[in-house]
Each structure stands twice: as C-alpha cells, then as structure tokens.
Amino acid sequence: MQAKTPSESKTVMTDLVLPGETNPLNNLFGGDLLARMDKAGSIAARRHSRRVVVTASVNHVSFNRSVPLGSVLTIEANVSRAFKSSMETVIDVWIEDRESGERTKANSAIYTFVAVDDTGKPIAVPPIQPETPLEQERFDAALRRKQLSLVLAGKMKPNEATELKAIFE
Ligand SMILES: CC(C)(COP(=O)(O)OP(=O)(O)OC[C@H]1O[C@@H](n2cnc3c(N)ncnc32)[C@H](O)[C@@H]1OP(=O)(O)O)[C@@H](O)C(=O)NCCC(=O)NCCS
C-alpha cells in the first residue's frame, strides 16, 4: 500500500459552545469535548484509511484550559502514525478570541482508531510518511505510546514493551 502524509488526513472542525453543553461554571463539559475530539480524530483516521474506523483507545487527554460558553472552538486532527490496522491521531483544540481573532491552544489529545471491514475485523491501512520535523517527532514517539496503551489495556506484557523499556535502560 502506498504511504500517505499526515497532512492528507488533516481534519478541521470549527463549532460554537452552546448552553446545554456546559458545566455549572459555564465552561464546556469535558465529556462533550471528548466526543468532539473523537469525531475529528475518526474523520482523520477515515481519510487516511478510507475505511470504517472504530475508537480503540483514548491514550492521552490534557485539559489545560477551560472553554467558556460562547467560545468558537477549532479542533484539528491528523494521523501521526499508522501501524498494521491501527492509527494514532493527534488532536489539538484551539479557542479563538472574539475581538482579536487570536488563537490559544486549550487542549490536546491522542486517540487510537482501528480500521475494520464489514464484519468489524481489523484490516490493513497505508503507512505514514512524515514530512516535517514535528511530524517525524510524533511518528517516532507513537510506537512508545502504542505499547503503553496496550500495556495499560492488559493486551501486552510490560516485559514485551521494548520501546518503553528502552526509556528506562
Ligand atoms: C478495537 C478492536 C477493533 C480491536 O480488535 P482486536 O480483536 O483486539 O484486534 P487486534 O488485537 O488485532 O488489534 C487490532 C489493532 O488494534 C490495536 N489495539 C487494540 N487495542 C488497543 C489499545 N487499547 N490501544 C492501542 N492499540 C490497540 C492493536 O495493537 C492492533 O494494532 P495493529 O493492527 O496496528 O498492530 C476491537 O477491540 C473493537 O472493535 N473494540 C470496540 C471499538 C468500539 O466500539 N469503539 C467505540 C466505543 S463506544
């Protein structure tokens, strides 16, 4: 299968934060943001694989800044690395200042999606060819994150996680 670049899967979703999506402090409810990031990440994984994809794991979420009611939220996602059937997606969330238009990064996350066939069985996806230094950095770190995710899910024995062991040796 021919390799694709991370930019080929780039997905940008811009939306408003409305009443009913917020907590008692009038900030966006965390679970709502998780769902929005899931949608953006799954579209990126779909664009990379051109397959049906399912969320296999939410590997990392960092809620650095609250998102107030009325915010214009932009979620950007792309596939950072593809393995056999799984794809790591990196998701960044930006808030736009109403007056200046200046963007501030509010959150970031890493989700893993798996491409599946009509019966829900994992199916192979194209590899990724990083183009920029940041894409290369994310590509290199993705295997460590995959192993950590599999260890935490009880799907890999810690002593088989060679990339993780290498950090501590
Ligand atoms: C994700 C799913 C397809 C994996 O199926 P499986 O039978 O475990 O298949 P495999 O063990 O062959 O794993 C398939 C790939 O997923 C990866 N994977 C599975 N669990 C993972 C996890 N927790 N973290 C990271 N990667 C994971 C495997 O490493 C493998 O990657 P590779 O093919 O690129 O090497 C299956 O568990 C599933 O359908 N889960 C439900 C998905 C879903 O409904 N999501 C929405 C929740 S509401």
Calculate the CA 115 to chain-centre distance. Answer: 15
**Could you count the other beta carbons within 10 Å of the beta carbon of residue 142?**
25
Backbone angles phi, psi at 88, to 5 degrees: -90, 130
DSSP 22: B
Backbone angles phi, psi at 165, to 5 degrees: -60, -35
**Residue 141 resides in a domain:** no
**Residue 147 resides in a domain:** no
Check: pTM over 0.75? Answer yes or no.
yes
User: What CATH number is given to the structural domain containing 110?
Assistant: 3.10.129.10
* 3-class DSSP assignment, residue 111: strand
Q: How many domains does one find in the chain? A: 1
Question: What is the distance in A from the centroid of ligand 1 to the CA of 56?
Answer: 5
**Residue 160 resides in a domain:** no
pLDDT per residue rounded down to tens, the chain (169 residues): 999 999 999 999 999 999 999 999 999 999 999 999 999 999 999 999 999 999 999 998 988 899 999 999 999 999 999 999 999 999 999 999 888 999 999 999 999 999 999 999 999 999 999 999 999 999 999 999 999 999 999 999 999 999 888 777 6
Length of the chain: 169
Q: Which protein residues are within 6 Å of ligand 1, measured from CB?
A: 54-57, 83-86, 112, 114, 116, 120, 122, 146, 149-150, 153, 155
Question: What is the distance in A from the centroid of ligand 1 to the CA of 54?
Answer: 8
